[in-house]
Amino acid sequence: MGFLLIPTGLQLTDFDSRSKDSNCNDTLEVLFNNDGTVQKATFTSNILYIHKGEGPFSLNAEHDGNRLPISQTGGSFVFDAIEAVLIK
């Protein structure tokens, strides 16, 4: 998964599925409303590194479709409720 840090949060820029045999425990869950719009999306990672080698971090991030609809973010998930903890 790729993210871009923007003023309003973390914008999901790309993602690719991995085989279940990989050691990746990242999860992306998306809940939809009855009309097909996104109600909520959550991303969780137990081990996250930043490009400059900082980390690892554990990360929980949430996108809320009521708070920040995808129609207002150019069609992208913007995770604006973020909790990151440096793993020692």
| pLDDT of residue 25 exceeding 90 | no
Strands (E), 1-88: 2-6, 9-14, 27-32, 38-48, 57-64, 78-79, 81-86
Mean pLDDT is lowest, of 9-13, 21-25, 75-79, 82-86, for 21-25
Predicted confidence at residue 70, as pLDDT, reads 87
pLDDT at residue 20, rounded to an integer: 67
Amino acid identity for residue 12 in this structure = L
Per-residue pLDDT tens digits for 36-63: 989 999 999 988 877 777 788 899 999 9
| Coil, strand or helix at 25 | coil
pTM of the model: 0.79
